[in-house]
Amino acid sequence: MSPRLEEFLFAPANARSVAALRIGLAAVAAFAFYPYDTGALATLVQAPWLVHLYRDVIQTKTYWLLTMAALAAFAAGLWSRPAGLLAALLLAPYVPIQGVMISRYLLWFAVTALSLLCSDRRWALRSLIGFPQRNDVGPTWPIRLIQLQLSTLYLVNAIAKSSPGYLSGGALAAMSTRLPNFLVQCADGLFTLAGISIPLGIAAAATVAIEYCLAIGFWFPRLRWPTAVLGAVFHAGLTRLITIAALDIASVALYAAFLLPVRSPRARVASNVASR
Amino acid sequence: MSVSSSLITGSRRGDILLLLAFAAIIVGVAPWLPVYYSITAFELTLTRIETDGVRTQVPLPPELDFDSYWNRTPDDLLPRIEKSFRSSVARETVAHYELTVDYSFNSAALDQQITWQAP
């Protein structure tokens, strides 16, 4: 493994960033995984015994409260690794619910990856009750995975939309008249936002260009904040166009994995010394 | 100077395997992540044809109570509709039924049409 890749994946993770991600993602997940008792299983997994399992066990208040308790323990830094892994295990069955699959998958993946790190030593109840605060939470690669997952989301969406049918605006026109969660009608070939009418082809092309920017921009340190602002504006605009469950919030919440320092200051100092 | 820190599994090999397993999840799930990138818009019309040739438009049975959109291509959609149509009228012994699907892919025009008759 090259030294740069070694450092990219195995440098010590920043303990404060990991703690902030742990708390923030747990809060967003609690929001995105509610309500627990609505929605049908995805078509792929509609075996009768599974439908019964969901109705009688998983989509019940008891199961959901247990899941939230594990998530709360993870957020509070009470043995965050086992609590986080338990939360991920309990959250997993909620992922394949139609209508919310992608936002829940994103957050489930992030909670699972983050629970691999020992982040219960900073900004955690354990440290308040006397356990020492330590900086060695683990390597950076779980955070790199969260970053990679976010970029993959934008990239595959941009690629899927790079088709003549989408870029012409025809798909958006049809969706606006057919899909119940579209908030605007664009059958006349124009998309109107904040009083400005834009031809649908231009709106579609802009959407695709923005998704490519969001897939790539976060990987360039100088472009991180501009990319995050672009993403926040993009998702805020989308909420005026379409209701897509918690996907906007889940996506923007994961920007923190890029915006917070990933490596610990100790690693940055060591890296600078090594490069001299 | 090395910048490596404590590992998650206790061994570099274990960490790399775990990392690759997570990366495989990212790659494996990727095809399901695109949203709102294509649509097949369609409308169904069901006609009952009596033995004397009289045609009457009739309401759709529950088997054909689809939403009027499909997130993938017509090639995925049309066989499903045809199968539902044929099963919904399979017990009919007197009249025939004709199902007309007006549809379009990535367009609101509904400018394509396919028709089936059964039984």
pLDDT band at B2 (very low <50, low <70, confident <90, very high): very low
Residues B87 and B63 sit within 8 Å (Cβ to Cβ): yes
Q: Which helix (DSSP H) or strand (DSSP E) does residue B69 occupy?
A: strand B69-70
In angstroms, what separates the C-alpha of B94 from chain A's closest C-alpha? 35
pLDDT over 90 (residue A97): no
B12: chain A residues, CB-CB within 8 Å: 10
pLDDT over 90 (residue A86): yes
pTM: 0.87
In angstroms, what separates the C-alpha of A148 from chain B's closest C-alpha? 8
Q: Which residue has the tokens 């549809």?
A: B103
More reliable by pLDDT, A244 or B103: B103
* Closest partner CB to B37 (pick from A116, A161, A270): A161
pLDDT averaged over chain B?
88
pLDDT band at A268 (very low <50, low <70, confident <90, very high): low
Record: contact A13-B5, CB cut-off 8 A: yes
Looking at chain A, list the stretches that DSSP marks H as alpha helix, in order from N- to C-terminal side. 3-10, 15-32, 48-53, 61-76, 80-91, 101-114, 125-128, 141-161, 164-167, 170-178, 200-217, 224-241, 247-254, 256-259, 265-275
* Closest partner CB to A156 (pick from B12, B33, B41): B33
pLDDT over 60 (residue A264): yes
Record: contact A145-B22, CB cut-off 8 A: yes
Q: Is B1 on the interface with A (CB under 8 A)?
A: yes
Average pLDDT over residues A199-212: 94
Q: Is B93 on the interface with A (CB under 8 A)?
A: no
In angstroms, what separates the C-alpha of B96 from chain A's closest C-alpha? 30
More reliable by pLDDT, A228 or B60: A228
A232 contact partners, CB below 8 Å, separation of at least 6 = A252, A255
More reliable by pLDDT, A122 or A176: A176
pLDDT averaged over chain A?
88
pLDDT over 50 (residue A34): yes
Distance of CA B54 to the CA centre of its chain: 33
More reliable by pLDDT, B3 or A188: A188
> Alpha-carbon distance A179 to A177, whole Å?
6
More reliable by pLDDT, A127 or A28: A28
ipTM exceeds 0.90: no
Residues A91 and A33 sit within 8 Å (Cβ to Cβ): yes
Q: Is B20 on the interface with A (CB under 8 A)?
A: no
| High-pLDDT (> 90) share of chain A, % | 55
- Going by C-alpha positions, the residue among A153, A162, A252 that lies closest to residue A208 is A162
Q: What are the φ and ψ backbone dihedral angles of A97, each rounded to 5 degrees?
A: -100, 125
pLDDT band at B3 (very low <50, low <70, confident <90, very high): very low
Record: contact A152-B38, CB cut-off 8 A: no
Record: contact A139-B7, CB cut-off 8 A: yes
Q: What is the pLDDT of residue B119?
A: 82
pLDDT band at B1 (very low <50, low <70, confident <90, very high): very low
Write the DSSP symbol of residue A57: I
In angstroms, what separates the C-alpha of A195 from chain B's closest C-alpha? 24
Size of interface A-B (CB pairs under 8 A): 133
pLDDT band at A274 (very low <50, low <70, confident <90, very high): low
Could you tell me which chain A residue has the CA closest to the CA of B39?
A171
Q: What is the pLDDT of residue A66?
A: 96
pLDDT over 50 (residue A265): yes
